[in-house]
Amino acid sequence: MSFKDGTRIILGELERTLGAVDEAAVERAIALIGDADKIFLHALGRAGFAGRSLVMRLMHMGREVYVLGETNTPNFGPDDLLIICSGSGATKQFVDTATKAKGFGGKVLLFTATKDSPLGQIADAEIVIEAPSKRQSDSEFASIQPMASLFEQSILLIGDAMVLAMMERSVTGEAMFRRHSNLE
């Protein structure tokens, strides 16, 4: 397959997948982000990279954000938000963390590829992405791309689209740039 054929197929998959995202779910997610005192991300692997992109942009917007597992992560409180990216929506580590966050009175936002998952039952809002998770044979969705690539790409693009929507309501790109790292 040529490079151009690959990009055409990938863009077509993304267009189909992103077109199926529930806009009301995205608005609920934006509201949770807007209402949160602190925002925490819990995600692993490539989904974690995509999730980190979202929380980095939220930091640029002036939000207090953390990635679980980093040494500077503070305690989680009742007005905080935990964002989880989990294709299966069933990873025990994520379920345990989400349950704990809810026990502290916080909120949970889930990006997942699995409807009616255990994490979906816990989450205050979930964005379901119609894409395969790691084992495509276990999914009702298909992609030419390996494993969960379409899911991970979709998290990145949904996050960027959410940031654009939030920017219209609260902050300019120039203000965001002033919070960009200057030690590079």
- The span from the CA of 20 to the CA of 3, in Å, is 26
Measured between alpha carbons, how far is 152 from 159 in angstroms, rounded to an integer? 11
The catalytic position among 23, 152, 174, 184 is 152
Residue that is written with structure tokens 């992109």 in the block:
53
Query: Residue 176 belongs to what H/E stretch?
Result: helix 173-177
Strand order of the sheet with strand 38-43? 64-67, 38-43, 81-86, 107-112, 125-128
Look up residue 46 and give its amino acid: R
Give yes or no for a contact between 136 and 114, defined as CB atoms under 8 angstroms apart.
no
Residue pair 135/129 in contact by the 8 Å Cβ criterion: no
Residue 13 annotated among the catalytic residues of the structure: no
Strand partners, 41: 67, 83
What residues contact residue 70 under an 8 Å CB cut-off, 6+ apart?
none
* Residues annotated as catalytic (active site), given as ranges: 152
